[in-house]
Structure formats: C-alpha cells, structure tokens
Amino acid sequence: MLRSHTLVLAFALASLAFAWPATAANLTWPGVAPCNSTLQACIDGAADNDTLYIATNAPITDDISVVNRRLRLRSADGFRPQFRNMHFNAETTSAHAGDVRMHLYGLHFDDCTVTLSHAGSGNADYEVRKVELNMSAGSGSHGIEVFANAGTVNALLYDNRVSGVPLGTGYGLISLKAWGGTLAARADYNHLTSTSPAMVDGSGIVTDYAGAGSGGTLDLHGNEVRGGFNFSGILISEGGLGGAAASVSAMLANNVVVGGGGGEGIAVAQRTGSVEAMIYGNTVTRVGTGLIHLYWAAGPDIGPLTGSIWNNVFVAASKAVSGFTGIANDYNLFNGSTPDLVPGSHTITAPAALASEEHPRPRADSPAIEAGETGRLLIPAARGIPMLDADGLHRLKKKSPALGGAAKVDIGAYEYGDRVFTHTITAGSITAGGDVTWLADPAIDSIAAANLFATSNYNAGGAAGVGNSRLFVPWWDEASRWGLVIEGLLTSMPLGAHFDILAAGARDGVFQHAATAANTSSAGTQLNHASVNGAADLFVLAARRSSLSDAAWNAHPIRVYNSFSGTQWRWFIRNSDGATVGPGTKFSVYTQERSPNAFTATATAATLDGNNNLVLDHPLLNGVACARPVLTAAGLVDVDGAYNVSYDHAAQRWTVFRYGGGGAMPLGAQFNVLVDPKQVEACNDVIFADGFE
C-alpha cells in the first residue's frame, strides 16, 4: 500500500518544477542584442517564456525590475552570477489580467532583497531554486519574499540557502505571505541560518495568510533552520497583518529546527480565521518551546484550529508543546519536557539520544529509531511530499538488514539505516593470496543480505592518490565477511587504493537483480521491481555483487538507464562496453526519488575541467576533502573503462575521471551521485562547509 502510493506520486511529481514551454528561446547575457548591454535591457528585450542564461562572474549591482512577464533567469553552466547590494523585484501590477511566471535558478545574492509579488487577477508561478543569499548585519535585506496580493500564486522554493539576520519581527530569511490573494506555497530543502550569536527578532521561515480573500496551502518539507529566533524558527500565521479572517492548510513534514537556546522552534499564530496544522516527522532542538500555538489577539472570535501532531522529536528546555490542547497527537518523542496537550498512548518521554542537539541525528541507541507510525507517511504523500527525510534520503528503512519484518519509520526528521564509510586496501586487509580485501564495519559484518555500492576514490581527499583502473565487486565469503575482489580476476590488490562504500539500509527500494535469459538482451538486463517499474525520473544506483559460490563474472563497466518499453517506463543495467551480460550475473540496486543529495551530474563543456574530468559542484562536497560521494554511471552515453572520484585541492572540488581511451570523459556522460550528509557531518563536524553554520 505504502509502496504503490509512493510510486504514483513519484512519477507525477518527479521533476518538482513548473512546466516551461518547449518553444521558448534561450538568450545569453552578456551576448548579442538585446543582451549586448545591461541585464535590465536583456530582460526588457526578451520575449515572454524566454530563458536568460547569465554568463558572467562579474558583480551585478543595478536593481532589476521585471513587470508582468513570463521569464526564466538562471546561471549559465560554469558561471556563478554575483548580485550585490541591489533589489531584484518581479511584480504583477493590479491592472494586469494575464498569467505571469518568474523562475530563478543558480543565482548568488549578497545583501540583496529578492521579491516576487503578484497583484493581478491571473495566476502567477514563482520558482526559486538553488539560490544563495547572504545578508550582512545592517544591510536592510529582506531575504527572499513572495507575496500573493491578489489572484493565485503558486510558489516553489527548492534547495536555497539564505544566511543573515531577519529585518525584524514579521520578517524571515524566507517570507511567504498571502495578503489578499490565494497562495499555494511549497518549500523543500531550504537551509536558513541566522549569523548572529545572540537571539534575533523575526523567523527563519515566516508565513502569513491575512485579510479578505486570502487563503491557500502551505507545504514545508526537509527544510533546515539554524539559529536563535525570538519568534520561532518556522512561523505559520493566520491574521498577522490583521483584517478579515483568512484560512490556511499547512503541512510541515521532515523539517529540522536547531535553535539558539531559547525562543520557539515551530509556532502557529492565529487570529479569527481557520488553520489546519499538520506537524509530521520534524526534529526541533535547542529551543525554549518546541511547538507553540498562540493568538494574535485574544477574544471571542478566535478561529478554529484543526490538524494533528505525529512522529516528531521535540527537545526543549521549557515545554515540548504549548497551547495545542485538544489536538490529536501520538508517536512523538518529548525529551524530558512537559507538553500542554494530553500525549497519545505511543508517546515517548525520554532522552532522544541524538548525536548532539546541534547535530540532531539519532544515535544507534536512540528510542526514536523505528518507533514512529509508518502509516502516517501517506498523509504528507497525499500532498505530493516525497517519502524522503531531511537529508533527502529515503524515509523508510530498517535499522539493520539482518532484522526481519517490514521497515518502520523513525520519529523525527532523520531516518537511520544507511551507512557510508571508507575502505583502504592495506597489507592487513588482504588475504594471504592477495586477491581479496576484507571490509569491516558493523553495518555489514556477518550480514549476507547487505547491499553494497563501492566507488573507487583516487586520493580519498589526500594529497597523493593510488591509481585503480580495475573493476571491483563486493564479494561475500558465505560465512561472515564481505570483501572486494577484482571482477573476473584472482590477482593482487593495489595497496593504498581507497573506496567509498554505501551500505544501503534495507527497504523496498533496495533490492537484488539477477540476469536471466528472459530479462536480458545482449548488453542490457531489464529490472523488474515495484520501486522502479513505470518511474521515469528516478534516482538509481547499481553495483555488481558476487559470492564464493557464484560462477558468473561481469568484467565490464555498467551504467543504468531507462527506456519506454511496452506500456511503461522500464529501467535497465547495461554493460557500457557493449559486452553481453551473462545469465546469473547479480546486481544490487538502490532507488529513491531525486533530491538535492541524490542527483545526476552531466559532462558538458562547462562542467569538465582542464584535465577533462567531470566536476561535481555541490555544497556538501565543495571544499570538503573528507566527503565520500558514491556514484553510478547513468543515462544514454557509455563510459567505457573504470572511473574514480578524486578531490582537486587547488579547485576544492570533487571530480570524476575515467581510465582508458586517453581518459577523456565523453560529452553527455552522466553519473548518479549520492551524498550522505550524515557522513559529511561526521567527518567534518560541520554539515555546511560553505559557512552556513
């Protein structure tokens, strides 16, 4: 039931982006007319539905105004546009009756305000994705703000990073407000950080639905808010501006709030309108009150509050929950603090056993692990929220593959179960014959059912590297140990070679596939599993697996791809060199919906460096030599030969390079890349290596 429901949603919401007309033109600034002078002139001269690629790293300091338009502005490949001390304003005037669109992608703002406001009678689609905005003290910046002053606004804010101090009470680093219109807002995987060491006014994310004609929906998923905010890390408000009653249906799922030692984590403030507050699977720490409900003005006309509170972790100095009397709740963990509401029968009142309050992932001994109500995942899923945790990894997995029964959801925003670690071949790790290097980690020791995905890491972030042009396969000795062997050969191991190993948590979307005569045609074998069948835009990793009694070898590089077959999309594993996949060849397969930490990197002229290596540009990889990316070749372009990841200390970037064919990475080659934030946090002790914490 859970699985099939999620697959439908994954297919329908795969891209999580508003559609754009295929016939629109692409313009580059600076470029030819109308883009041969200022950016404003380029915008004014573009036709509706055009995409403007900004191909400069020079500072842009002029204010930008976009009025009643349908445009996309994004960074060109290889560029990081820098807007400084300016106001980017996209607005719809009250006299405009048509629909408008504004999409921003991959832009960088310093001490700027980005405002998207709609006052027309039509619809507005606003999308802000991968935008970084830094605000210094006293800059007067409002951060990113969206206003629905009339009509209908559909807003999507995805994977943005905003740091600084809110302008004051009622302001946020991100602000979403319906003041006369209908606002359907979705915010996923945004990282908001107060840069002040003291408590500050305002919020990380502030929303308000207020005044006549105002209403809508709000979905917040996988966001992380850090710092001390006097008026909550996340504020859901009805009636903050005053005026006639409004209404909002809010879903908060899998968000993380790490406060500054006081204030509130999540607040719901209400006046005379109605609020539906569904608070599911969030983690809140380092606050005075975890979750609070209050009214802007007391009186007989206060509006109704409905909803439910489920599967949350609240670590609070004063109260876990305040003011939510009479609201259905259960399967929450209250860390030693007394809530106002009557707790459900499955509530846990105990220390949460987190890595720390600053880094609130559950430890192996946390009572939150597999203690939630799994069926509640369907409620956020019905609103299009993916079954992913705050790390962008799968929401439902077992603590260990050795455990029987179905996976159960953890309480809180993070799901325990995946493990990424480093293996280095040493004289002590190999067998007497030198043809097996033994792996050792509690996540896989003595667990025959483990699914391992190994990526060769040339230098493991160090200065010197060890070449590894062989294809390695995880190998089970059918007794108690996993090792790595060179595919098809019993030969000595390259001492000092490193590997990034993902031991995937057991769940429905992690499975094993064996090639047979029925599912294999020449170089490709077709997968047949509920987690992949019919899902076109899925994130998939694949790796060979073998054992002592396994006679099948496949000494060929592989890639994953999908193709429409019969009546639906199907996924395949292919030998990239065109060699036939032999019957009995076995693979481990990892699947999930895409996220900022489960993405595809593509080789283009702009993403290849001077050595023709594919550069991985990701905030948890950039400048983090101890990161351990795990990847699989993907798409429709073959990458022949073995490939490694390597850390370039000069550029402070991870790259992918290949052996064979002169080492050239073919244009269009793709790799599915998984980054585990837990591993980055553990190795670096700071989850954001780019200054966001």
Nearest to 52 by CA among 21, 78, 31: 31
SS3 of residue 377 by DSSP = helix
> 79-88, 160-169, 171-180, 464-473: lowest mean pLDDT where?
464-473
Residue 104 scores a pLDDT above 90 = yes
pLDDT score at 248: 97
Between 567 and 127, the more confident residue is 127
The per-residue pLDDT for range 230-248, each reduced to its tens digit, is 999 999 999 999 989 999 9
Give, for 41, the enclosing helix (H) or strand (E). Answer: helix 39-45
pLDDT score at 334: 94
Residue 687 scores a pLDDT above 70 = no
Residue 691 scores a pLDDT above 60 = no
Q: In which band, very low, low, confident or very high, does the pLDDT at 336 lie, cut at 50, 70 and 90?
A: low
Tell me the average pLDDT across 614-642: 95
Contacts of 172 (CB under 8 A, 6+ apart): 143, 166, 192, 202, 203, 204, 205, 206, 235
The per-residue pLDDT for range 53-73, each reduced to its tens digit, is 999 999 999 999 999 999 999
Q: In which band, very low, low, confident or very high, does the pLDDT at 690 lie, cut at 50, 70 and 90?
A: very low
Longest dimension (CA), the chain: 83
Distance from C-alpha of 377 to C-alpha of 2, rounded to nearest angstrom = 8
pLDDT score at 661: 63
The per-residue pLDDT for range 403-457, each reduced to its tens digit, is 677 889 999 999 999 999 999 999 999 987 778 999 999 999 999 999 999 999 9
pLDDT score at 684: 83
Between 335 and 539, the more confident residue is 539
Residue 13 scores a pLDDT above 80 = no
Distance from C-alpha of 312 to C-alpha of 331, rounded to nearest angstrom = 7
Contacts of 600 (CB under 8 A, 6+ apart): 539, 594, 634, 635, 670, 671, 672, 673
Query: What's phi and psi for 5, nearest 5 deg?
Result: -65, -45
pLDDT score at 14: 36
Tell me the average pLDDT across 609-616: 93
Residue 10 scores a pLDDT above 50 = no
pLDDT score at 468: 85
Tell me the average pLDDT across 279-294: 96
Distance from C-alpha of 678 to C-alpha of 680, rounded to nearest angstrom = 5
Question: Any idea where the domains of the chain sit in the sequence?
Answer: 1-119, 165-416, 510-592
Distance from C-alpha of 149 to C-alpha of 178, rounded to nearest angstrom = 6
> 121-125, 431-435, 676-680: lowest mean pLDDT where?
431-435
- 543, 587 contact by CB (below 8 A): yes
Q: In which band, very low, low, confident or very high, does the pLDDT at 358 lie, cut at 50, 70 and 90?
A: very high
SS3 of residue 687 by DSSP = coil
Percentage of residues of the chain with pLDDT beyond 70? 95
| Residue whose tokens read 């790595």 | 484
Mean pLDDT (the chain) is 92
pLDDT score at 320: 94
Tell me the average pLDDT across 122-126: 96
First vs last C-alpha separation in the chain: 39
Tell me the average pLDDT across 344-354: 95
> 9-23, 249-263, 488-502: lowest mean pLDDT where?
9-23
Q: In which band, very low, low, confident or very high, does the pLDDT at 4 lie, cut at 50, 70 and 90?
A: very low
Tell me the average pLDDT across 465-489: 90
* Predicted structure pTM score: 0.94
Residue 145 scores a pLDDT above 80 = yes
Eight-class DSSP state of 1: -
The per-residue pLDDT for range 485-508, each reduced to its tens digit, is 998 877 778 899 999 999 999 999
